[in-house]
């Protein structure tokens, strides 16, 4: 796959099939991930691939608790505002993400594979997130959808460490739990604020000198439908 296709179409794919991810595909994802850079090439990371249904069954209720905390805590006002103005495009977009995120929570134990990423001495996460994103890009190349999640480490760190047998006293922090599965929906170019609206040239606030109203990468394959019944907006 063209690298730009992977970069443009790797999005949060939260609706996935239960089919297992073959071991050789898992190996390619993991091996691509650990090629990523880390500060000083310290590679101060560990990964746990989780596909055991018993372990996933323990994680499901925990993840749902985390998402419930998110909706009733940090996202409460935003959610209430969106629900009060559902026709506003920003509200509609937020509500689509919320429904999609809740769908993942409701079916968490059905996700066939998780990649748990742990880092040490990396408060900013700058040495672990390149590897995490590489794993997601590699998965895209394999036709495997992924969603980066962080709530388990944020809200249920101790419980998650216990379930996974992670030593609690050696400085490891959980950076992310990436969910992997073959998507039921279709791939598409990620909708983002255009580059020229978020970039400057030479000094802060100075026009970047380019106007990019539409994504520079497009390809008919990006919209090839895997399942017409599952709208892209509800991934
Ligand atoms: C640091 C980080 C944490 C995230 N945590 C969660 C999460 O806990 N649950 C979830 O469903 N999605 C999570 N996401 C996915 C984002 O919601 C998603 O990337 C964003 O809405 C853009 O989606 P799109 O690429 O499909 O347009 C997270 C993404 C990032 C980068």
The DSSP call for residue 168 is T
Q: What's the pLDDT score for residue 222?
A: 47
3-state SS assignment for residue 173 = strand
With a 6 Å cutoff on the Cβ, whether 147 touches ligand 1 is yes
Ligand 1 pocket, residue 12 CB under 6 Å: yes
Residue 17 pLDDT level (bands cut at 50, 70, 90)? very high
Q: Which contiguous run of DSSP H or E holds residue 66? A: helix 53-72
CA of 148 to the centre of ligand 1 (A): 6
The residue with tokens 């040239």 is 201
| 121 vs 38: CA distance, rounded Å | 11
Distant-in-sequence, close-in-space partners of 93: CB < 8 Å, separation ≥ 6: none
CA 90 to chain centre: 21
Task: State the pLDDT at residue 228.
Answer: 35
The predicted-structure confidence for 86-109, as pLDDT tens digits, reads as follows 999 999 999 999 999 999 999 999
Mutate to test the pocket of ligand 1, among 7, 75, 148 (most ligand atoms within 8 A of CB): 148
Distance 70 CA to ligand 1 centre (A): 13
Q: Are 177 and 163 within 8 A, CB to CB? A: no
- What pLDDT, on the 0 to 100 scale, is given for residue 60? 98
pLDDT in tens, 43-80: 999 999 999 999 999 999 999 999 999 999 989 999 99
Comparing C-alpha atoms, which of 105, 101, 103, 112 is closest to residue 50? Answer: 112
Report the alpha-carbon distance of residue 157 to residue 166 in Å, rounded: 10
Q: What's phi and psi for 32, nearest 5 deg? A: -70, -40
pLDDT of 227 > 70? The answer is no
Whole-Å CA distances, 214 to 7, 38, 193: 15, 32, 10
For residue 152, give the ligand 1 atom closest to its CA: 8
Ligand 1 midpoint to CA 97 (Å): 9
Nearest in space to 67 (alpha carbons), one of 149, 177, 160: 149
Q: Is 125 left (phi over 0), alpha (psi -120 to 50) or beta?
A: left
| Cβ of 11 less than 6 Å from ligand 1 | yes
Is any atom of ligand 1 closer than 6 Å to the C-beta of 177?
Answer: no
Give the tokens for residue 187: 């791939």
Q: What is the whole-number distance in angstroms between the Cα of residue 178 and the centre of ligand 1?
A: 10
d(CA 234, CA 13): 9
Model confidence at 182, pLDDT cuts 50, 70, 90, reads: very high
> Strand 113-119 to strand 145-149: parallel, antiparallel, or no bridges (unpaired)?
unpaired
The per-residue pLDDT for 232 is 43
Measured by CA distance, the residue closest to atom 5 of ligand 1 is 149
Q: Which residue has the higher pLDDT, 222 or 38?
A: 38
Confidence of residue 220 (pLDDT cuts 50, 70, 90): low
Tell me, in angstroms, the distance from the centre of ligand 1 to residue 199's CA: 22
Mean pLDDT to the nearest integer, 15-39: 98
Backbone phi and psi for residue 211, each to the nearest 5 degrees, phi listed first = -125, 115
pLDDT tens column, 117-168:
999 999 999 999 999 999 999 999 999 999 999 999 999 999 999 999 999 9
| Residue of the CA atom closest to atom 20 of ligand 1 | 12
Q: Which tokens belong to 101? A: 């995120």
What atom in ligand 1 is closest to the CA of residue 105?
11
Q: What is the mean pLDDT of residues 185-190?
A: 93
Report which of residues 222 and 205 the model is more confident about.
Answer: 205
Choosing from 149, 233, 235 the residue with most ligand 1 atoms within 8 A of its CB, the one to mutate for a pocket test is 149
User: What pLDDT score does 73 carry?
Assistant: 92
pTM of the model: 0.92
For 176-231, the DSSP string reads EEEEEE-BSS---PPP---HHHH-BSSSTTSB-S----S-S---GGGG--S-TTS-
**Cα 135 from Cα 141, distance rounded (Å):** 10
Ligand 1 pocket check for 148: Cβ under 6 Å: yes
């Amino acid at each position: 796959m063209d690298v730009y296709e992977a970069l443009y179409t790797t999005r949060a794919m939260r609706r996935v099939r239960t089919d297992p991810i073959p071991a050789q595909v898992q190996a390619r994802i993991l091996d691509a991930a650990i090629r990523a850079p880390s500060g000083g090439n310290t590679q101060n990371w560990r990964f746990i691939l989780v596909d055991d249904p018993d372990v996933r069954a323990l994680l499901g209720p925990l993840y749902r608790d985390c998402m419930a905390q998110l909706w009733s805590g940090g996202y409460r006002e935003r959610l209430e505002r969106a629900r009060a103005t559902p026709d506003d495009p920003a509200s509609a977009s937020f509500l689509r993400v919320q429904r999609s995120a809740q769908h993942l929570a409701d079916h968490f134990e059905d996700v066939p594979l998780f990649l748990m990423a742990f880092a040490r001495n990396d408060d900013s996460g700058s040495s672990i997130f390149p590897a995490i994103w590489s794993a997601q890009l590699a998965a895209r190349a394999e036709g495997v959808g992924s969603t980066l999640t962080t709530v388990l480490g944020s809200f249920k760190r101790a419980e998650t460490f216990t379930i996974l047998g992670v030593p609690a006293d050696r400085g490891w922090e959980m950076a992310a739990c990436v969910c992997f599965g073959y998507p039921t929906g279709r791939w598409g170019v990620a909708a983002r604020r255009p580059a020229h609206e978020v970039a400057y040239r030479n000094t802060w606030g100075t026009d970047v000198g380019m106007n990019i109203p539409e994504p520079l990468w497009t390809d008919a394959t990006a919209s090839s439908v895997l399942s017409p019944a599952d709208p892209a907006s509800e991934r």
